[in-house]
Structure 1
């Protein structure tokens, strides 16, 4: 039976997306099965998205735009939809991250979200969000699109060596993730360094943190706990953490030595020689 559940388009970005999909599909004179055949999916999936029970992907949205000739409407809407799937407490940070000209982050436990592979993100998010895993992973991948812009932010990342050794999802996923990090080392706007175990005590021992700098807005210092985030533009905090971050960068391995360590961990811990995949 066709699902004809009514929607309130103002309830959420997902509801608005679903209502627009239904409206434009009906205007085109297509039923759910017919549209599904055109965009290579089932009628059931069309129905679930129209009734806000399923979150659309960017690829699905691009196919919709082509099929319904919407001028890119769904490709624009899907960004809002996926952003709304992030935890409420994290959404404000994600918005600021997307506007930042410079991102400087120290990560003590995990690969920074912008540099995670989809499989690594899925393994990490499955711990606390098994019921919303697809949506959370899609939102994480959408967040990374800022690195694909014509003018991406400058991103400086210091990873604690522990991040390389903490196995998430198995050896295959970790091999892929470390290879992904090696790929970012050649990116002109990404500076990636590893803080080795030998560094001993350092200014990042209290935990991960991120500094955001903007072209015309005040800098922001961000930290998070288990289920909440904290942002501040307090000048004293910014000054203190900026000096702390400079010290972390000075203590961390150089770009070249960081690459060598990542490659060594790939080989010794995850049993893989770094290099391009062979088809």
Structure 2
């Protein structure tokens, strides 16, 4: 559209998807995302555009458009604004997008949380804490209280329950392969007291032993400075889409889909995996650390 200024596509739209999702009939009243998908498709078809043609106008692939129309992907605010400009629909899609993006988890993590449910494999690195999908309730509560010391107990319990609900992903028949690398510091930082740590590390070891689709490694202090010194990183692979990376700090996170940046994270993660202890040695260290928290030196 003449005179329209589009945002940089590299910041919000992946370059390509391998498989074009086939159009499907949605009940627009099922949920806000389905309503958004139906409205986007209605406006696109009224403009006489195919998914590929619309994708060309907003600098992404037609299959990415199809992900929104089929309600397989959460809509994006920036893209919705561009759609509204292109279709002359005011703020219609932007408003629907805000409804469709409501989530129980933090807004900065919502897209990544959804992608984890679709991933065929999840690879995580954590420098100071046990990854969220493998946390116990007491450990998650202690972390949340430490991060939000002035928050009410009801809000904290809501966050803890959401985190525990997310862990049910590992019980799904289509659960992804989960490969985690935790720095040895995560085993030594006292979170919630010795009893909480003993329970958490025992749980981590039991999950590693009992679930064939979970592998845990420990990056020891002796390995020196790791590739991700102070960052938690999650790499996700899919059967029908390019890989993505999510990075997180204490109060924010970022989803990364640009292929060259994802490749950089992949290379760094492989280096961390090579420097980590073997799964067998890692399990022994986790169990030893759990036992340490039951001794007199750690009891509190």
Query: CA distance change for structure 1 residues 214 and 153 in 2, over 3 Å: closer, same or farther?
Result: same
1:105 to 116, 124, 127: 124
Contact residue 111 and residue 255 of structure 2 kept, 8 A:
no
Distance in 2, matches of 1:103 and 1:244, equals 15
Q: Deviations over 1:29-71 (max 9, x none)?
A: xxxxxxxxxxxxxxxxxxxxxxxxxxxxxxxxxxxxxxxxxxx
Shift of 1:221: 1.1
2:257 to 227, 230, 233: 233
2:243 to 195, 219, 229: 219
- RMSD across aligned positions (CA): 2.0
Query: CA distance change for structure 1 residues 130 and 109 in 2, over 3 Å: closer, same or farther?
Result: farther
Contact residue 174 and residue 270 of structure 1 kept, 8 A:
no
Distance in 2, matches of 1:205 and 1:169, equals 23
Residues 1:204 and 2:223 aligned together: no
Instruction: With the length of structure 2 as denominator, give the TM-score of the two structures.
Output: 0.61
1:164 to 167, 171, 187: 187
Shift of 1:152: 0.6
Contact residue 124 and residue 168 of structure 1 kept, 8 A:
yes
Distance in 1, matches of 2:224 and 2:175, equals 34
1:253 to 269, 277, 286: 277
Q: Which residue of 1 aligns with 2:163?
A: 140
Unaligned runs of 5+ in 1: 1-9, 14-82, 273-279
Distance in 2, matches of 1:217 and 1:210, equals 16
Contact residue 226 and residue 272 of structure 2 kept, 8 A:
yes
Q: Which residue of 2 aligns with 1:91?
A: 110
SS in 2 for 1:167: coil
Shift of 1:197: 0.3
Task: Count how many residue pairs are aligned between Structure 1 and Structure 2.
Answer: 193
Which deviates further from its counterpart, 146-155 or 85-94?
85-94
Distance in 2, matches of 1:269 and 1:197, equals 19
Runs of 4+ residues deviating >2 angstroms: 267-272
1:174 to 190, 197, 200: 197
SS in 1 for 2:133: helix
1:152 to 167, 175, 178: 175
SS in 2 for 1:203: coil
* Larger RCO, structure (CA 8 Å, separation 6 or more): 2
SS in 1 for 2:175: coil
Instruction: With the length of structure 1 as denominator, give the TM-score of the two structures.
Output: 0.65
Distance in 2, matches of 1:217 and 1:233, equals 10
Query: CA distance change for structure 1 residues 87 and 96 in 2, over 3 Å: closer, same or farther?
Result: same
Q: Which residue of 2 aligns with 1:263?
A: 287
Shift of 1:117: 0.3
Residues 1:188 and 2:212 aligned together: yes
SS in 1 for 2:288: helix
Shift of 1:269: 4.1
Unaligned runs of 5+ in 2: 1-28, 33-101
Contact residue 178 and residue 266 of structure 1 kept, 8 A:
yes
